Structure 1
Amino acid sequence: MSDRKRDERVSVILNLLAQHREIKVRTLPELLRVSGATVRRDLAAMEAEGLVHRSYGKITAARRGSELPVSLRHSQNAEAKRRIGALASSLIPGRPLTVALGGGSTVGCVARSLSGRSGLTVVTNGLDTATSLVTRQQVHVVVTGGSVRSLSNDLVGKAAEKALRSYRFDFAVVGVDGLSLDGGLTRHSVKGAEIDRIMLEQAEHRIVVADSSKMGRSHRAKIADLSAVHTVVTDSHANAAMVALLRRMGVRTTLVLMPPQPPARRPGTPH
Structure 2
Amino acid sequence: MLKDAPCEVILLGGVYQKKSESMVGPLTRQCIQQVHFSKAFIGIDGWQPETGFTGRDMMRTDVVNAVLEKECEAIVLTDSSKFGAVHSYSIGPVERFNRVITDSKIRASDLMHLEHSKLTVHVVDI
TM-score, normalising length from structure 2?
A: 0.92
Unaligned runs of 5+ in 1: 1-131, 259-271
Which of residues 29, 34, 55 is equivalent to 1:161? Answer: 29
Q: What are the residue-to-residue correspondences of 1:136-175 with 2, within 5 Å?
A: 136-175=4-43
Counterpart for residue 75 of structure 2 = 207
Root mean square deviation, CA, Å? 1.4
* 8 A Cα contact 1:216 1:239, kept in partner: no
Q: Separation in 2 of the partners of 1:231 and 1:251?
A: 5
Q: Separation in 1 of the partners of 2:24 and 2:104?
A: 32
| Residue 191 of structure 1 pairs with residue 63 of structure 2 | no
Counterpart for residue 90 of structure 2 = 222
Shift of 1:178: 0.7
Shift of 1:238: 0.3
Percent identity of equivalent pairs: 25
Bigger RCO (CA 8 Å, 6+ sep): 2
* 1:217 aligned counterpart, secondary structure: coil
Q: Separation in 2 of the partners of 1:203 and 1:142?
A: 19
Unaligned runs of 5+ in 2: none
TM-superposition CA deviations, 1:202-242 (whole Å, max 9, x none): 14211001101011211111121222210000111101111
Q: Separation in 2 of the partners of 1:227 and 1:247?
A: 11
Greater share of helix: 1
Which residue identity lines up with residue 252 of structure 1 in the other structure? Answer: T
Shift of 1:135: 4.6
Give aligned pairs, total.
Answer: 126
Q: Separation in 1 of the partners of 2:5 and 2:19?
A: 27
Q: Separation in 2 of the partners of 1:247 and 1:164?
A: 29
* 8 A Cα contact 1:212 1:234, kept in partner: yes
| Residue 239 of structure 1 pairs with residue 111 of structure 2 | no
Q: Which structure has the bigger radius of gyration?
A: 1
